[in-house]
Amino acid sequence: MEHDHPSAESIIALYHEGAEAWASRCITRALLMTNIDSYWQTTVLGW
């Protein structure tokens, strides 16, 4: 058994964790930007 290289399972698991974290960060950012846009429109522009 070689222990130098990570197994395919661990690589896939890491990839899925990273993908989920990236997706949730993008969603959070998108929601934040939407809220900021609507905030600016209602407060500053009076839409």
Q: Which long-range contacts (CB under 8 A, 24 or more apart) does 34-40 make?
A: none
Better-scored residue on pLDDT, 47 or 34: 34
Q: Identify the band that residue 44 occupies on the pLDDT scale cut at 50, 70 and 90.
A: confident
Distances, alpha carbon 10 to alpha carbons 14, 15, 20, in Å: 6, 8, 15
- The rounded distance, in Å, linking the Cα atoms of 2 and 10 is 14
For 1-40, write each residue's pLDDT tens digit: 556 777 999 989 999 999 999 999 999 999 888 888 888 7
pTM of the model: 0.51
DSSP for 13-36 reads: HHHHHHHHHHHHHHHHHHHHHHHH
pLDDT of residue 39: 80
Residue whose entry in the numeric block shows the structure tokens 């959070």? 28
